[in-house]
Structure 1
Amino acid sequence: MKKQKDHITVFEHESLRVDRGEQRLTHGQLEALQLFYGENGVPYYSLIHNGVRFNEYVGVIQVGRTVIEVLPKADKSNDAIKWRNMLITMLNAVGIFDIQAPSSSDLRLRSNSILDLYFELFIKEVEYLLHRGLVKKYRKTEGNRTALKGSIQFPKHLRQNLIHKERFYLKYTTYDKEHNLHAILYKALKLLSYINTNAQLNSRLGALLLDFPEVNDIKITEAVFDKLVYDRKSESYRNAIEIAKLILLNYHPDVHRGTNNVLALMFDMNRLWEQFVYVSLRKHKSNNTTIAAQNTKAFWKPQEGYRSKMKPDIVLNKGKEDCVVLDTKWKNINGYNPSPEDLRQMFVYMKYYGAKKVALVYPGEVSAQKSGLYYDHTSADSKDLSSEECSVISISVDKEIKAWQFKIHEQINTWCQLQELHN
């Protein structure tokens, strides 16, 4: 692991401490992470003595001016460049960076971290909007005017204009650039100019703040974004707003000292691996194959209350004789058996989906597969095996994302065909 100025790179499940290790947290940074963790905790890391241990979430946590980059790892390699590029290309493959506007057509995925990539994406989107011309919207407002245009608000007019007979206190409609879309973008630009640590982006941020119209400050909450409505003129704002939402809602200012603010942009690797396997299978699927992700099925109902449901990661050919259920796990089991919990889960999926075969899909250093039979639970002899089979598929990581996606398709497709021949 290589330490740079204001930049720490670790891998998932590794730790950072204040009292040991090549890379260390300052006491102020640890305190900021402890405050961010709070009483209810966050899924990104766990608190340990004098430090934190990262979980299966990857991405970036910025504490003050220090960027802590957490990378995935499914082999023994400590090559940060390899895994940073792998993470970025995986995110791009599943659509996290699927920005279709012309402004991102020449985007170079060579940033120092995911955070830099998000910042650059946002800057390019706002530059694109300014180049096209910012849209105006109608808004209702009120105030004193010298021309009678709108409806007079008599109580306020009498209070404010007893002396100034030339003025009218009116409620009227204005057509200008003062609206929530611009307020959100301006607030995000101001925040980025404050927290950005990439010197290459500073001049572009400064130019945008000079060119962007100043608008009234608004309090950012989830509800602000929920109320946004896009039309033909404002649809081009969607990408920039989505990135601004991610940045603004994940920013946690340090209210005590103001020096160790926290911005967390983290991704669940289990969820990302599941989506990556799904889009890889869809990319190469045949016409006679159906693929469903996160398909929900009820399996228990109490006399009162809500039903319990199961949700396998991927179901191939649901409802057909050749139905197959796949469950993805982002961990390298190194040739060992899956956990009993995972095997029991796959057995339930097989029963409730009427699946011909089920398999657990892992990343690995080498591609391999093995199968095992469940014991016959209907037999009086507990030593009897059934014909119900669960397979374990490990898929080696490839540096080229397209080659890796094809490898995923080919290995799972070959496994499916082998099971058909076997039966």
Structure 2
Amino acid sequence: MTTPRRLLLTEGGTAQRTTLTADEFQAISGLGLATATPTLVSGVYEVAAGSKIGAVSVGDLQILVRPKITDLNRLIFLLGYSRRPVWRDDPVELARDDELFPALAEVFSRLATRATDVGLLQGYRTVTDTLPVLRGRVLATEQMTRRFGLPVPLAVEYDDFTVDIAENRLLLAATLRLLGVADLSLDARRRLLRLRRLLSDVSAPVRGAPLDEWHASRLNTRYHDALRLAEVVLGAQSFEQRAGDLTVTGFMFDMWRIFEDFVCTALGETLGDRGHRTATQFTSHLDVDRRVTMKPDLVWLGEGNRVLGLVDAKYKAERPEGFPNADLYQVLAYCTVFGLSEGHLIYAKGNEPTRTHIVSGSGVAIHCHTLDLALPPTDLLIQVDQLASTISEPHVSGLARARAAARTPPS
């Protein structure tokens, strides 16, 4: 039996040298989790991680990309803001050396076990079927056109009180995905297997089908945290494919998406508390013909949906060749279309300094802010609150002086 090889990388960290076969190089190049660059030595490559985190198995080679955030409790906290708010404290304490996906399995298995301790949630589901006896109501059109008016079987529709509802289907889908994660703790695997048995009467997920939609209500309150973490787990890019003679499986998260979701949700909530009506991914157009779509990450709106301010979240400063300041150009375009005198860029600390750029000729101010993701959750939310104060109540006098200085020609 071949001993598995393991390559440990850190998001955005230095490359590591390793030997790869041609199939392994091809598979890694197509995944997007890491890049493999040939060296002068045949068969030896430098493998480096980008801004994705996760774990993939390429044949007998396992590549694990750890986040720069070494405390997984903080990363789990950020993931809690993915798409919609989940929790506001750490439901499970994790060790600093825990791996991401086993850690997610640990948290999910506890939350889901807690949610289902008193039994599975049940609800009504509309079922269309053909039965030898009457149940519910007869579908007359179906009976006459497809059943040719025969007395049996009957085409019927009825409401069934069942455990096979959206909430339980989401829990089952997340459970099955996490059972495929390597290096689970014995307790987490035991809890996940118990959940799978408990959910045995629930429909298994269909590959490629969209996730079931659920809606928070008083009836499913005890499921809320588990369901929202299930959405986080299922939102990770999962793949199972073949590259040459190798089987490739794994999970990946985009750190830029985690950061963007956190900024938009946390900052949107804080601005909402200050009386602002906010919207994420607000759709507008750059050109008069409405052919070029643009979507600022977060805007706050006034009467008639007039944009009063905007924020764009950037996990890393965008510096593509030929456009070294693309982030600034993008926010300037937003400000021009919406008629704003200032816009805001928010970076993860360490990727861009805090500063303000005054655009020549227009006087538009583009403020670059940073958030320190290494802070404990409470301190990070305080920083978000301070940032909300800064961008919603700007120091007009200082900004006016800066613009005046930018417009004054040199003597």
Shared fold per TM-score greater than 0.5 = yes
The answer for the alignment partner of 1:63 in structure 2 is: 57
Output the CA distance in 2 between the equivalents of 1:226 and 1:353: 36
Query: Is the CA contact (8 Å cut-off) linking 2:348 and 2:370 kept in structure 1?
Result: yes
Q: What CA RMSD, in Å, does the superposition of the two structures yield over aligned residues? A: 4.9
Query: Is the CA contact (8 Å cut-off) linking 1:141 and 1:174 kept in structure 2?
Result: no
Residues 165-185 of structure 1, C-alpha deviation per residue, up to 9 Å, x if partnerless?
xxx999999978684766775
The answer for the alignment partner of 1:405 in structure 2 is: 381
- Structure 1 residues 390 and 18, CA gap change in structure 2 (3 angstroms): same
Residues 1-57 of structure 1, C-alpha deviation per residue, up to 9 Å, x if partnerless?
xxxx968341236545533xxxxx7888656545xx2xxxx5544454346543323
Counterpart selection for 2:312 from 327, 340, 350: 327
Which runs of 5 or more residues in structure 2 are unaligned?
39-44, 136-151, 401-411
More divergent stretch after superposition (319-328 vs 227-236)? 227-236
The answer for the alignment partner of 2:147 in structure 1 is: none
Counterpart selection for 2:293 from 306, 309, 320: 309
Counterpart selection for 1:272 from 231, 234, 258: 258
Write the mapping of 1:215-294 to structure 2, written as runs, cut at 5 A. Answer: 219-223=206-210, 225-226=211-212, 246-247=233-234, 250-253=237-240, 260-269=247-256, 271-285=257-271, 287-294=274-281
Output the CA distance in 2 between the equivalents of 1:409 and 1:358: 18
Q: CA deviation at 1:277?
A: 3.0
Q: Aligned letter for 2:79?
A: L
Residues 354-411 of structure 1, C-alpha deviation per residue, up to 9 Å, x if partnerless?
11222333233599643333232xxxxxxxxx53333333455552222233224425
The answer for the alignment partner of 1:127 in structure 2 is: 113
- Structure 1 residues 235 and 362, CA gap change in structure 2 (3 angstroms): closer
- Structure 1 residues 118 and 418, CA gap change in structure 2 (3 angstroms): same
Q: In structure 2, the residue corresponding to 1:18 is in which secondary structure? A: strand
Q: Residue 202 in 1 paired to residue 196 in 2?
A: no
Query: Is the CA contact (8 Å cut-off) linking 1:186 and 1:214 kept in structure 2?
Result: no
* % identical aligned pairs: 15
Residues 138-167 of structure 1, C-alpha deviation per residue, up to 9 Å, x if partnerless?
767789xxxx8669xxxxxxxxxxxxxxxx
Residues 268-316 of structure 1, C-alpha deviation per residue, up to 9 Å, x if partnerless?
41x33333333443454463545443222223254xxx63222222334
Query: Is the CA contact (8 Å cut-off) linking 1:361 and 1:394 kept in structure 2?
Result: yes
Query: Is the CA contact (8 Å cut-off) linking 2:236 and 2:252 kept in structure 1?
Result: no
Query: Is the CA contact (8 Å cut-off) linking 1:370 and 1:392 kept in structure 2?
Result: yes
When normalised by structure 1's length, the TM-score is 0.63
Q: CA deviation at 1:266?
A: 0.5
Output the CA distance in 1 between the equivalents of 2:220 and 2:245: 35
When normalised by structure 2's length, the TM-score is 0.65
Q: Aligned letter for 1:339?
A: P
Q: Aligned letter for 1:198?
A: L
Output the CA distance in 2 between the equivalents of 1:204 and 1:293: 37
- Structure 1 residues 296 and 231, CA gap change in structure 2 (3 angstroms): closer
Larger radius of gyration: 1
Which runs of 5 or more residues in structure 1 are unaligned?
20-24, 73-79, 152-167, 377-385
- Structure 1 residues 47 and 183, CA gap change in structure 2 (3 angstroms): same
More divergent stretch after superposition (59-68 vs 232-241)? 232-241
Residues 307-330 of structure 1, C-alpha deviation per residue, up to 9 Å, x if partnerless?
322222233465799943333322
Number of aligned residue pairs: give it.
360
